[in-house]
Amino acid sequence: MNNPPLKRKKSSSAASDDSKTPPDSINKDISGQENPALATITVTAVEVPELTEQEISDRLHLERKVERAFFEAGKALIELRVRP
């Protein structure tokens, strides 16, 4: 029942090429500025492909497992607390 993680295909776009060589402004040290809170930060957007039906199903299954584990842990903690 332990399936290996699914490998997703990499999207080849111009944005992904830009992320390999960040502009110099991203790597600047802002600690020497008078007010670092006013620093400008550049963020590059990356397109994320939609999940396949199988990936959606796998994600929902794993989310249910996590929810169940939290529920069971909560029940166990309550039981430990009420026992003398």
pLDDT digits (tens, 9 = 90+) for 1-36: 455 555 555 555 444 455 555 555 555 666 666 777
Specify the pTM: 0.43
Listed as own residue / partner, the contacts of 42-46 with beta carbons closer than 8 Å and 24 or more positions apart are: 44/15, 44/18, 44/19, 45/15, 46/15, 46/16, 46/19
pLDDT for residue 4: 56
- What confidence tier does 61 reach under pLDDT thresholds 50, 70, 90? very high
